[in-house]
Amino acid sequence: MGFKIGEVAGIRIELHFTFIIIIIAILLMLLFFNPTGILAYSLFLFFLFGSVLFHELVHSIVATNRGMKVKKIILLPIGGIAFTEGLLKNPSDELRVAIAGPLFNFLLVIVALIVGQFLGIPFFIDFESIAKNNPLNMLIWINLILGVFNLMPALPLDGGRVARALLSRKIGELNATRAIIKFSLFFSAFLFIVGLLSANIIIAAVAVFLFFGAQQEREVVEIKHLLTKFSTKDAIVKPKMISSKATVAKAIENMVKEKTNYLIIKEKNSYKILTLGMLANSSKNASVKSIARELKTIDYKKPLSELFLTIIENSIPVVGVKKRGKLIGVVDINAIRLLAELSKIKE
């Protein structure tokens, strides 16, 4: 759903399709109805893009400072998502990372207000005045709306994360997430109706995005808690291996035979993984070695819930399990889902 537009400090920056729609819609509207407004609206898009990008980068800086790894940022017209490894492990870190983004927007509003005061530019409250090409007011309104919207206590918004971290201290992470998800579903339904009534496709798309985002947040936390009844050892299976000298054609043959969607390659002392997705775009004669990626591994003593989060945060199907540095098996997402389902029945 996102298109890569660049990279900042090793973080992949993607533009979400709703952002692309808004750019195309505004440009088309300008071209046909209001060619004179092109400067003002280009400035609007530039400010919106910049504000969302910096909002996400501030999240990323705080996350990195707390020892987390940020892999990817997706920019939406209403904010964005920074894909951070290790967020769900510590509520107080999650709170810090979440609040940093909206705080940046509010700080920018304050600075812009002071600059405006200094330059004698009045702060307009009505939108007609903003449209009259007043860049500073445009910047203020964009950041005010971004800050307030993102602080709504709905998941997966920043406000939802802040609310969950605070509520977790009183009622635990699972119950806190459940309570906030209820509000999130109500909020996304409300937003969807607003989008329909105002014929605003962007608001409707954002509502749909929030709805599915909330469902995913719930699933992750529910499974994470069901898994506390099992250890990593319970989920281990023997890895399905393939020689590093094999070709893609051979790998496909093995996958059919083993009914698996991944294979593991041993190379000296390291392990690599080959998934269906990697095979799909490569020629049959290519060597598996050239397309395989490094296998993420975790120590066998680590809880199964942490292994599950590693799978989710990296969007990979399987994680290797090591004992004293040696690979003793793998755990895949299907085994985890199965254990979660079984422990639900047991309850």
Q: What is the DSSP string of 199-247?
A: T-HHHHHHHHHHHHHHHHHHHHHHHHHHGGGS-HHHH-B---EE-TT-B
We find the least distance from the C-beta atom of residue 55 to Zn ion, in angstroms, to be 5
SS3 294: strand
For the bound state, the minimum distance from the C-beta of residue 159 to Zn ion, rounded and expressed in Å, comes to: 9
Give the integer Cα–Cα distance in Å for 262 and 242: 10
From 142-150, 216-224, 238-246, 248-256, span contacting Zn ion (CB under 5 A):
142-150
Applying CB under 5 A, the span of 145-153, 276-284, 292-300, 315-323 interacting with Zn ion comes to 145-153
Minimum Å distance from CB 212 to Zn ion? 17
SS (H, E, C) 8-68: ECCEEEEEEHHHHHHHHHHHHHHHHHCHHHHHHHHHHHHHHHHHHHHHHHHHHHHHHHCCC
| Binder of Zn ion out of 158, 173, 217, 332 (CB under 5 A) | 158
Please state the closest distance from residue 219 (CB atom) to Zn ion, in A: 21
Asked if 195 touches Zn ion (CB under 5 A), the answer is: no
Cβ distance to Zn ion smaller for residue 91 or 101: 101
Total chain residues near Zn ion (CB under 5 A): 4
Which backbone phi and psi does 254 adopt, to 5 degrees?
-65, -40
Residue pair 312/294 in contact (Cβ under 8 Å)? The answer is no
Which is nearer to Zn ion, 2 or 101 (by Cβ)? Answer: 101
User: Which residues between 87 and 126 bind Zn ion (CB under 5 A)?
Assistant: 101
> Mapping DSSP to helix (H, G, I), strand (E, B) and coil, where does residue 190 land?
helix
Strand partners, 137: none
* Options 157-165, 184-192, 225-233, 246-254: segment touching Zn ion (CB under 5 A): 157-165
Q: Which is nearer to Zn ion, 102 or 195 (CB)?
A: 102
Which residue lies nearer to Zn ion by CB, 90 or 287?
Answer: 90
Residue 106: both structure tokens together: 């509010």
User: Site map for Zn ion, 284-313, x if CB under 5 A?
Assistant: ------------------------------
| 262/59 Cα distance (integer angstroms) | 33
Nearer to Zn ion by C-beta: 101 or 239? 101
By the criterion CB under 5 A, which residues form the site for Zn ion?
79, 101, 150, 158
